[in-house]
Amino acid sequence: MPVQTGRMTDLVGTDPQYDVFADDFLDHAENSLHNAHYDRPFCLELLGDVEGKTVLDVACGPGLYAEELVARGARVSGFDQSPRMIELSGQRVPSGEFRVHDLARPLDWIEDGSVDLVLFALALDYVDDRVAALRELRRVLRADGALVLSRLHPTGDWMRNGGSYFDERVIDEVFSRGWQVRHWFVPLEKTCEELHEAGFLIERLREPRPSPLAKDVNPETYRRLCREPAGFLAIRAVPDPRR
Ligand SMILES: C[S@@+](CC[C@H](N)C(=O)[O-])C[C@H]1O[C@@H](n2cnc3c(N)ncnc32)[C@H](O)[C@@H]1O
């Protein structure tokens, strides 16, 4: 999680910023409170039963989600803009299909309505044209499919960075292990509106609390995340049948 905030810029861009610390991210996210005991349990619950389903793991990182989804019986394909993340995913989940791809470009290898579930965990904040990216995710989803996404909780972004909560901007922050990351700061309303514009209906919106196991991992962060919306939030959205 962010430990230092910084300057403002116009766009995040397409530089694969996670590539240089992909191995360190894996080392951290495998068992960290924020990933293993906070984000993943909530997104997996929102995905529901994945047995026999095709799941597209968007911005799949090092394959931690893919590993769990395959263990639960899903057929997983995924992509990430970081080549090193894709190597790590392939090593971790040999049955998965992974490729280097940036969400800024269309998913031109995936047919319309061919995916049961799309998982988009902790990466929306890095995308400049989020409506275009979400439209592509809606296109590849089956009509009865669902998108599950998580993002930095906007209240947490605001508590760390101050200024106007409603002032959309790109910020630079240094995350937990000294990772320099550039991401969007947008209010919750903006994410809801972008999902609407892309043709989704929000079915559920969750503000995660850490799982009880997290208390042993980091008692202080556990207590803080039990009382403050300072971490992530998670949304399940479905294709709007009227559009
Ligand atoms: C915080 S990590 C999350 C990884 C994984 N979803 C997880 O939760 O374990 C963010 C990931 O998003 C990827 N990413 C960021 N912007 C992207 C983009 N425009 N297209 C594809 N991947 C992107 C990064 O390379 C990184 O692997």
How close is the Cα of 171 to the center of ligand 1, in Å?
Answer: 17
User: Which residues have any ligand 1 atom within 6 Å of their CB?
Assistant: 16, 18, 29, 59-61, 64-65, 80-82, 85, 102-104, 121-123, 126-127
Angle subtended at Cα 110 by Cα 109 and Cα 111, rounded to the nearest 5 degrees: 120
Does 158 reside within a domain? no
The pLDDT value recorded for residue 6 is: 45
Write out the two tokens for 242. Answer: 């009227």
For residue 127, being part of any structural domain is answered with: yes
73 domain residue, yes or no: yes
Q: For a substitution probing ligand 1, which of 86, 87, 118, 122 has the most ligand atoms within 8 Å of its CB?
A: 122
User: What is the span of the domain harbouring residue 217?
Assistant: 29-152+195-239
User: 3-state class of 241 per DSSP?
Assistant: coil
Q: How many Å lie between the centroid of ligand 1 and the Cα of residue 80?
A: 6
Classify residue 177: in a domain, yes or no: no
9 part of a folded domain: no
Q: Pocket of ligand 1, candidates 33, 44, 85, 136: which has the most ligand atoms within 8 Å of its Cβ, to mutate?
A: 85
What's the pLDDT at 9?
55
> What's the start-to-end Cα distance of the chain, in Å?
37
Cα(230)–Cα(146) distance, rounded to whole angstroms?
26
Query: Can you give the pLDDT at residue 30?
Result: 98
pLDDT at position 4 is 45
**Spans of the chain below 70 pLDDT:** 1-9
Is 59 within a domain?
A: yes
What distance lies between CA 141 and its chain's CA centroid? 17
Report phi then psi at 99, rounded to 5. -150, 155
The tally of domains found in the chain comes to: 1
What is the domain-level CATH number for residue 99?
Answer: 3.40.50.150
Instruction: Give CA–CA dist 92/27, Å, rounded.
Output: 13
Tell me the sheet residues that pair with 204. Answer: 236
Q: What pLDDT does residue 176 have?
A: 81
Alpha carbon nearest to ligand 1 atom 10, residue: 123
**Cα dihedral sign for 112, 116, 119, 124?**
positive
d(CA 225, CA 14): 31
Q: Give the Cα separation of 42 and 36 in Å (integer).
A: 10
Mutate to test the pocket of ligand 1, among 38, 79, 82, 233 (most ligand atoms within 8 A of CB): 82
- pLDDT for 243 equals 84
Residue 179 in any domain: the answer is no
Q: What is the pTM of this model?
A: 0.96
CB 44 within 8 A of CB 68: yes
Query: Residue 16 domain-assigned?
Result: no
